[in-house]
Structure 1
Amino acid sequence: MPDPTELRVALTTEQCWQPVPGGSGTYIVELTRELAGIDGLAVTGVAARHAVPPEDDWVPAGLVRHSRLPRRLLYDAWQHLPGPRAEVIAGGADVVHATTWAIPATRRPLVVTVHDLAFLHEPSHFTARGNRYFRRALAQTRQSARSIIVPSLSTADDCVAAGLPAAQITVIPHGSRPEPRTTREVADFRNRYSLDRDYVMWCGTIEPRKNLPALLAAFAAAADTLADVDLVLVGPVGWGDLPVVPNDLAPGRVRMLGHLSRADLHTAYAGAAVFCYPSLREGFGLPVLEAMQHGVPVVTSQGTACAEVAGDAGLLADPRDPQDIACALVAAIRGRDELAQRSRERARDFTWEASAASTAAVYRDAAPA
């Protein structure tokens, strides 16, 4: 029997089965891992029907209960029908947590994590179906959420501008789990991928808002100065056109490694000379924090949530100005040692343990008295 003193939480985990779980998937995996260790809390994952578990890197901690509906039907039902309710799928809950824009039907207090509102600012960067879905989910959040979690002040400001009540919003930054790598592990990784020179690294899902054309143009502008440095792009194709490598870059200066396992991704971070993440808009910018955790100097976008994460430790550039990004890349390479130390110190301010503790506090505030 359930412990009557425990707070029962139904938490959506369906993102972990997506082809590209991305930062939201990392959020769910890390959050459930830390929540599992908090006394007085019983968390059950809620997902669509699946014949197999998610890939190893994306398995959420704890029990997950599944709807009888596949994802598409479940998501459509949640947007248009009063069920199936999350607490029913979970076998009981006192609070329901929507960890993405998949807002479940529920009669329990609802907590929603809003990672970003990029679809309002740059609708052309999303599919037509995605825009419709996100806008309906935003309306559901306005109507039904008791508490809203956001990962950054930038996203909090966006939420208020979009009509979400400021009093319901709590800023809870993401964390990063240290995954140190040895010199030998980095060397082995470099050998497997034939990375025999220093490299500037980018990672993420390849999609328009990641601003890869500007990064490529910036690297081309800095290529003569950074003659012994290559550009390495890591991540799966999402949607939109693949980035075109500028013609004036010599063959081999840009390497596209595609999707990497979590282990290889962190080894790639550890081996990078600089990490560059010039996104036009992010809700947090988890890759910036992960790179800093490895002591890698960071160049990222001014005026964004990524700048909040980087703080005084990173170099900021105008993401719409390739020449500005190029100057920051050169400065980061030249100031590598000092910036590396600043990255490590900054990364210590962000832990998943702290994120989970703050999230649990939101659950308790939202729960019935």
Structure 2
Amino acid sequence: MTGPVRVAMTVEQCWQPVPGGSGTYIAELTAALRTQDDVEVVGVAARHRTEEVPSPVPDVPVRHEALPRTVLYETWHRLRRPRADRAGGVDVVHATTWALPGRRVPLVVTVHDLAFLRDPGHFTARGNAFFRRALRLVVDEAARVVVPSAATRDDCVEVGLEPGRVDVVPHGVRVPQVDDAQVAAWRARTGVARPYVLWCGTLEPRKNVLRLVEAFARARGAGLEHDLVLVGPTGWGGQAERVRAALEQLPAGAVHLLGHVPTQDLHVAYAGAAAFAFPSLWEGFGMPVLEALAHGTPVLTSRGTSMAEVVEGAGPAAVLVDPRDVDALAAGLGELVGRDAAAVGVAARDVAAGYTWAHAARAHVGAYRAALGGGTA
């Protein structure tokens, strides 16, 4: 087709109590698409009180349906109504999460990960049923499926999606500038005085924090002089309690368990860290790895995962290990903090510079056009 592609995009995630990475994806993608002259986007969301303002804010005009979120999602999945393209003037519908509207035009779906298949215990029975129903709809109806990593693409292919329907489009990254004064102020507030290794995330089994703590203890025994800083909320599976118990075996003050922190503080923590350790067993993409690199901080992460894709070409700014091998984790920590900081910073930022939301937006437009033409992006 000629002229801009007209897209109806689901942006309801931005009104969720915890928008999470999906909300950030929607906000950053819509802002980037607004700068493109070959696409026009209108958001689709549920009914909300007029005074409610989403966070993060999607940078497109939004059409609100008459139904509240829960009812809207159920009718979308069970009845395939109301159609997201019923007002006309739409070429493609883009479902940015597992809530898939009905439509008559081609459907593009973003699949961030298949966490509900890997860790069904992390979700309620109702949530698992919702996600599985959505996956069936994706397999049956999606013209194109956008995923953030080759690892997620492989998961999608394993459950029945043809490889030719799946487009790997990595996320972009945008981080605030952090200066030495901000780092010093954060250290004073948190009591983190010594050089430190940072981890961030939710305390849950797949994040592999227990092995990281054990590896840190072994690395200290081998001469590591850094502290370990753990940032993020309590999750599930009893991980928080088990981590706290493990910390009791370490010297007082060696580990700082800070809990949830504001986003700005997290970026200051990235910028001030000697290294970032992220040995998750799996992730759909692993945005923290990319954010750390964007701050010039070297990364220890897991071989054979989506995070390994992100650090490809990072040279001295990355160490890849088997995340289940505690000795390898310990050795990797010692190796990473001993590298030349200036060379590491340059290599880390060079890799992160290749991940832009502008590039992601162009790739999404390619997926929209492929959906219309029935070809590849």
TM-score normalised by the chain length of structure 2: 0.89
Rate the CA distance shift 1:28–1:230 in 2: closer, same or farther, 3 A: same
Q: 2:351 aligns with which of 343, 346, 351?
A: 346
Shift of 1:73: 2.0
SS at match of 2:332: helix
Q: Distance in 2 between matches of 1:362 and 1:319?
A: 34
Shift of 1:226: 5.6
Q: In the alignment, what sits opposite 1:365?
A: 370
Rate the CA distance shift 1:252–1:106 in 2: closer, same or farther, 3 A: farther
Deviations 1:240-294 (A, max 9, x none): 3242231211233322333333322222211111111111111111110110011
Segment drifting more, 140-149 vs 326-335: 326-335
Q: In the alignment, what sits opposite 1:327?
A: 331
| Seq. identity, % | 52
Shift of 1:225: 4.0
- Unaligned runs of 5+ residues in structure 2 are none
Q: Distance in 2 between matches of 1:214 and 1:71?
A: 39
Deviations 1:221-246 (A, max 9, x none): 22334654222222233443242231
Q: Distance in 2 between matches of 1:67 and 1:242?
A: 40
Aligned residue type for 1:325: L
Q: Distance in 1 between matches of 2:272 and 2:347?
A: 17
Q: In the alignment, what sits opposite 1:158?
A: 155
Matches within 5 A, 1:95-174: 95-174=92-171
Are 1:293 and 2:291 matched, yes or no? no
Give the conservation status (yes or no) of the 8 Å contact 1:202–1:232.
yes
Q: 1:64 aligns with which of 51, 62, 74?
A: 62
Q: Distance in 2 between matches of 1:37 and 1:319?
A: 40
Q: In the alignment, what sits opposite 1:81?
A: 79
Rate the CA distance shift 1:102–1:211 in 2: closer, same or farther, 3 A: farther
Shift of 1:180: 2.2
Q: Distance in 1 between matches of 2:311 and 2:193?
A: 28
Rate the CA distance shift 1:205–1:12 in 2: closer, same or farther, 3 A: farther
Give the conservation status (yes or no) of the 8 Å contact 1:96–1:110.
yes
Q: In the alignment, what sits opposite 2:256?
A: 255
Rate the CA distance shift 1:77–1:42 in 2: closer, same or farther, 3 A: same
Aligned length: 363
Q: In the alignment, what sits opposite 1:190?
A: 187
- Unaligned runs of 5+ residues in structure 1 are none
Aligned residue type for 1:191: A
Shift of 1:59: 1.5
Give the conservation status (yes or no) of the 8 Å contact 1:223–1:249.
no
Give the conservation status (yes or no) of the 8 Å contact 2:45–2:65.
yes
TM-score normalised by the chain length of structure 1: 0.91
Matches within 5 A, 1:253-292: 253-292=254-293
Q: Distance in 1 between matches of 2:235 and 2:18?
A: 8
Rate the CA distance shift 1:14–1:318 in 2: closer, same or farther, 3 A: same
Matches within 5 A, 1:207-286: 207-225=204-222, 228-243=225-240, 244-245=243-244, 246=246, 247-286=248-287
SS at match of 2:228: strand
Aligned residue type for 1:241: G
Rate the CA distance shift 1:111–1:196 in 2: closer, same or farther, 3 A: same
RMSD in angstroms over aligned alpha carbons?
2.2
Segment drifting more, 236-245 vs 23-32: 236-245
Are 1:41 and 2:39 matched, yes or no? yes
Q: Distance in 2 between matches of 1:166 and 1:267?
A: 40
Q: In the alignment, what sits opposite 1:54?
A: 54
Aligned residue type for 2:84: A
Segment drifting more, 220-229 vs 265-274: 220-229
Are 1:316 and 2:313 matched, yes or no? no
Q: Distance in 2 between matches of 1:134 and 1:12?
A: 16
Q: Distance in 2 between matches of 1:237 and 1:45?
A: 33
